[in-house]
Amino acid sequence: MTATHATTDLKDAEGPAGRAGPAKVAAPRRPAPSGRALRTAGFHLSAGLLSALWLLPIALVLVTSTRTFDDIAAHGVGSWPHSFTFDSFRQAWVDGGQQRALINSMLVTIPTVLLSLGLASMAAFALSRYDLPFRRVLLLLMLGGNLLPPQILLIPVSKLSEMLGIYDQLYALIGVQVGFGVGFYVFVLHGFMRAIPGEIQQAAVIDGANPWQIYWRIILPLARPALAALTALSFTWIFNDLLWAITVLRTDTQMPITASLIGLQGQYVSMWNVIAAGSVIAAAPTVAVFLRFQRYFVAGLNLGAVK
């Protein structure tokens, strides 16, 4: 390159006063939306529409439960509300017998969940951490019991409860729920406990821990996500059960909340606000339990997916 060309290039790079000016940079072009971005937007749009469609009946029940009977009779169930009251909750709670039914559900659900998960965790600990004879056969038998449709067992369970003299008692329903739930809980907990490294248990044995201490202080804390997830699931299943409740129970004062809803619908045939209020009362405990154990529930699902 000659000196003339170098001088010309330097002047082009300098401003009018001989100082170096900023180089001109072309404005970047915005990339056209890719097919992946369009698919993502379409997925979120369709998921949002499905979520709104799923939440619409829930919103309708909530709105109906706070309307008066005269408003619903005059404008219809699906109309825009013209009133707001909590009197329907009082009618369902006091006059409809929801208070006693909710107590019965709690008296059945809480002991059943604690007893079922306690027995299942012990059985899963023994089957997963020790070389017991016929442990696979026992595990398959527990799992096979859950494959039987409950409809074919209704009459045998009813007859057996009558023969044992526990018919129409809440502890009969507790025994039935425990018997039909332990097998599934053992199968789930067995997979979690089996994945725990054996070196942890060996270290505890070297330190002098007995099997009960290993189960209580080591295995159970490590299986907390699985236990929390099963707690949420079992509480929902047992609390919302209707089939076994009407099989082993007879009198209205012993019925849980799900069976009480049927009686509430028969008592308040056309009073949709009272029926909706009873449904909200029945759904509130399960929603509260799920929100309480939501973090552990998601963690247990993710842990199970990885394993």
Q: Which domains does the chain have, with CATH numbers?
A: 104-242+290-306 (1.10.3720.10)
The residue-averaged pLDDT of 48-72 equals 92
Contact 247, 154 (CB under 8 A): yes
The residue-averaged pLDDT of 138-166 equals 87
pLDDT at position 70 is 92
Residue 1 has pLDDT above 50, yes or no: no
Residue 130 DSSP code: S
pLDDT at position 157 is 92
Band (pLDDT 50/70/90 cuts) for residue 2 is very low
What is the rounded distance in angstroms from the CA atom of residue 111 to the CA atom of residue 193?
A: 24
Contact 43, 35 (CB under 8 A): no
- This prediction's pTM: 0.80
What is the rounded distance in angstroms from the CA atom of residue 11 to the CA atom of residue 24?
A: 15
Residue 25 has pLDDT above 90, yes or no: no
The more confident residue out of 51 and 9 is 51
- Phi then psi for 14, rounded to 5 degrees? -95, 160
Contact 172, 250 (CB under 8 A): no
Contact 245, 189 (CB under 8 A): no
pLDDT at position 186 is 93
The more confident residue out of 143 and 207 is 207
Contact 193, 120 (CB under 8 A): no
Band (pLDDT 50/70/90 cuts) for residue 219 is very high
The H or E element spanning position 9 is: helix 3-13
Band (pLDDT 50/70/90 cuts) for residue 295 is confident
Q: How much of the chain, in percent, has pLDDT values that exceed 70?
A: 85
List the one residue out of 56, 59, 57, 64 whose CA is nearest residue 85.
Answer: 64
List the one residue out of 227, 228, 260 whose CA is nearest residue 241.
Answer: 260
Residue 89 has pLDDT above 50, yes or no: yes
Contact 261, 203 (CB under 8 A): no
